[in-house]
Structure 1
């Protein structure tokens, strides 16, 4: 199963038997067999035929519409993909259940962030990295003892601030300068890469959450409301450092992105342009299709890990006592 990204502007998606084709004028950009599709993500302005939409609805394949900067503004989903049944179980979760998940997610996020920095520290020792690595270990213990969500969120914020204070030390390019994290809008190319990656991953998780019939607006760590699918934000936390932050380091340190050619500045922010998005997504898909070995010795593509965690949360919702949620932790 794979996701189809449509990043080029002005494309036309059509269906030829069981083949989804992406064209712009006479140029064919992609062909994907319909049975192999997990979701379609369209960045910016492209057209989708009624035949493609109908086929995707029949096969439970979400079509996600995003701005050219990666912000989701809508999805096409089949009517049957509601979440009323599981929503009842989610609503019945106790405060203790939610605290358990919130602690697990934030502890794992901090441990994963620490592991990413430790890997970099082994390659290129740094006193500032060493201090942050120690600080994150202390924060993990504090999160374990936290007895309310605001306290956990505060510690998560402190951990993120510590982590990003050392993130620039992991970048070997003189052109990509990172001082601190800026989100709305991203203030420079490094922040643009991070924000775009988080948004892409968030949309993947959201689609999987809906595929499994969970209510994306009922979460344990973040506060949900009609414009914020908080459960996707919850599950994103454990994947930020290993899937996006490490990938951004890889892009920059391998000189795969160009600070002059791949970004555009407008409305006070910095964003990937059309060329940059194509580069990013092509490399990202290739990386996510790499196989890794799980704890049972089985090989699986990284994409499957997202689905694995959504399924784990679903099992937790059905039986919080017997199947506590365990977040994804890298080694």
Structure 2
């Protein structure tokens, strides 16, 4: 019979246990990599990859098979400063022995004899010490079974073992008080097996210091979960069990497993229940709201965990000089992207336009002035001049055979006055929604940016970051779809006086084009690996955070070739 126990030593205290003790599994992470420990324990960042789930399955299987003298113990030793759950506790010849179970293989010494890995050794020694402290009984050894090769390793517990644990606890407490992440480990092999490498970005950090290095592709290739756009007014989104339930008027009930959903985008007057809202937040599903006119309204903020990352963000973005340096990178990135798009379109369409050539040259001359800019105000002026030249040349890259209703005669915003601007406006709303999703899922503060000032519902940091993706994710879609004559000038639009809006069919068509575009890949010009645009949005947010983490240098490099 399996026995579940919770035992606490020195339980009478005025200090909360959770803040005064360290998890044994955290010491395991510390021995593996101090940076991993910091990310998990200080910043409270966790990922659940295949290895994590496989480990859970192993423990679940063992629970069913273990014999009667096995006890699963959760122990808290405040005097020692540790807490943790022992995989298995057995009594052998009058001696109490803790066991740890590992899926992988053991370490081999010079004589090819099985040994415990350093992180596993610290973990089992910590459990030995915790048992002695919490239960007041003598423990002489711990044991680790490596199931990949069915090897049992004995780890002696003595005064030397106690010292190892005490030193680890002291180091863990010291690291917890720091506001800086420990540096990336020099052992690159550890990174390939680490579940938090997509958060840590160790290869990208190394690339900053050595541009000649060949980075491994540790960042995940793509998030294959669906992005559900609820476009029909009156549609209700709810929850049933572990599924998202969608009820559309005059249509069959639709149920989608939650693990297949990455975002819910509620357009117009669609609704979501409180139960579904809580469920989606718990499942890490982004929830966003877009008006019937295609205006981004807002996102549900489900950030959890440590405030430490946002404190660093506040500290960094309170420095005006630092903000100016980031803003220069941003304006250069967008300006170069706009210029390259015009150059590409000119070449592919074989358009010989004096306006395009002249504007391209003028844009390049203005971009060269960016390094000398000394204020955000001056930079805004530079950006405005580049944008004016770009939008003035944009009509020249449209085909001569498109309907006259689809022509572009200058940028206007809300309300849009022509079909081209209606497409741009809706596309930018979808883009800022995706940027917000990345910011919130990364745990940063969208209200604190470095270039844009607060206005309307759009958060400054989201407005900053979307500048990088305006051309590849919206402008190029709009121009290409118009030149391919994919729009019905009547069915896809609604005309209300001088205002022009996308109709229901128009919005549905644009969403399809936009989501298809995000699945296309783009080779990062610095890291040299390819990701979908959907992943690049997340990567760029993480690279921005690295700018104030002492590992900057890769942000704002995504320029259309």
**TM-score, reference length from structure 1:** 0.91
Contact 1:205 1:232 in 2 (8 A): yes
Structure 2 CA distance, aligned partners of 1:316 and 1:160? 26
**Corresponding residue of 2:251:** 27
The answer to whether the Cα contact below 8 Å between 2:446 and 2:462 also exists between their aligned partners in 1 is: yes
Q: 1:30 to 1:288 in 2, by over 3 A?
A: farther
Q: Report whether the alignment pairs 1:91 with 2:314.
A: yes
1:256 aligned counterpart, secondary structure: coil
- Work out the CA distance in 2 between the residues paired with 1:30 and 1:190: 34
Q: CA RMSD in A?
A: 2.2
- In the other structure, the counterpart of 2:164 is none
Aligned 1:189-268 pairs, distance under 5 A: 189-224=419-454, 227-266=457-496, 268=498
Q: Contact 1:60–1:77 at 8 Å: present in 2 too?
A: no
Counterpart contact for 2:302–2:440, Cα < 8 Å: no
- Deviation by residue 1:131-187 (Cα, 9 ceiling, x = unmatched): 111111111101122111011111101111100001111222133111100012211
Asked if the contact 1:132/1:162 (under 8 Å) is kept, the reply is yes
Q: 1:304 to 1:32 in 2, by over 3 A?
A: farther
Matches within 5 A, 1:96-175: 96-122=321-347, 123-125=349-351, 126-172=353-399, 173-175=402-404
Q: What CA distance in whole angstroms lies between the structure 1 residues aligned with 2:469 and 2:311?
A: 27
Tell me how far 1:104 sits from its aligned partner: 0.3
Q: Match for residue 323 of structure 1? A: 552
1:231-286 C-alpha deviation (Å, 9 max, x unpaired): 10011111111211011011111111112111113374211111110011012111
Residue 325 (structure 1) shift: 5.4
Q: Is it true that 1:74 corresponds to 2:303 in the alignment? A: no
CA distance in 2, matches of 1:297, 1:30: 41
Partner residue of 1:281 out of 495, 511, 535: 511
Distance 2:257 2:364 in 1: 46
| Contact 1:129/1:166 (8 A) holds in 2 | yes
Between 147-156 and 166-175, report the one with greater CA deviation.
Answer: 166-175
- Displacement after TM superposition at 1:16 (Å): 4.4
What's the offset of the Cα at 1:225?
A: 5.8
| Residues 217 and 225 in structure 1, CA contact (< 8 A), matched pair in contact too | no
Cα distance, 1:299–1:16 mapped onto 2, change above 3 Å:
farther
Shift of residue 79 of structure 1?
6.0
Greater mean alpha carbon deviation, residues 85-94 or residues 26-35: 26-35
| SS of the residue 1:92 aligns to | helix
**Cα 1:225–1:217 shift into 2, 3 Å:** farther
Tell me the distance in 2 between the aligned counterparts of 1:276 and 1:64.
20
Q: Which has the larger radius of gyration?
A: 2
Q: Are the aligned partners of 1:105 and 1:237 in contact in 2 as well (CA < 8 Å)?
A: yes
Q: Judge which range, 157-166 or 37-46, deviates more.
A: 37-46
For structure 1, which segment, 26-35 or 48-57, has the greater mean C-alpha deviation from structure 2 after superposition?
26-35
Q: What SS does the corresponding residue of 2:495 show, helix, strand or coil?
A: strand
Verify: 1:13 aligned to 2:240, yes or no: no
1:198 Cα shift? 0.7
C-alpha contact (below 8 Å) 2:299/2:436 kept by paired residues: no
CA contact (8 A) 1:107 1:144 kept: no
Matched position secondary structure for 1:9: coil
Q: Which has the higher contact order (CA 8 A, sep 6+)?
A: 1
Q: Is residue 2:413 matched to residue 1:183?
A: yes
- Report if aligned partners of 1:263, 1:271 keep a CA contact under 8 Å in 2: yes
Secondary structure of the equivalent of 1:292? strand
Question: Which residue does 2:536 correspond to in 1?
Answer: 305
Secondary structure at 2:285's aligned position in 1? coil
CA contact (8 A) 2:335 2:367 kept: yes
More divergent stretch after superposition (151-160 vs 3-12): 3-12
How far apart, CA to CA, are the structure 2 residues paired with 1:277 and 1:113? 25
In the alignment, which of 265, 270, 287 is matched to residue 41 of structure 1? Answer: 265
SS at match of 1:211: helix
- The alignment status of 1:270 with 2:500, answered yes or no, reads yes
Q: 1:18 to 1:228 in 2, by over 3 A?
A: same
Gaps of 5+ in 1: none
> Match of 2:233, SS?
coil
SS of the residue corresponding to residue 27 of structure 1 reads coil
Which of 273, 282, 285 lines up with 1:58 in the alignment?
A: 282
Quickly say closer, same or farther: Cα 1:30–1:317, change in 2 above 3 A. farther
- Partners of 1:39 and 1:317 lie apart in 2 by 28
> Aligned with 1:238: secondary structure?
coil
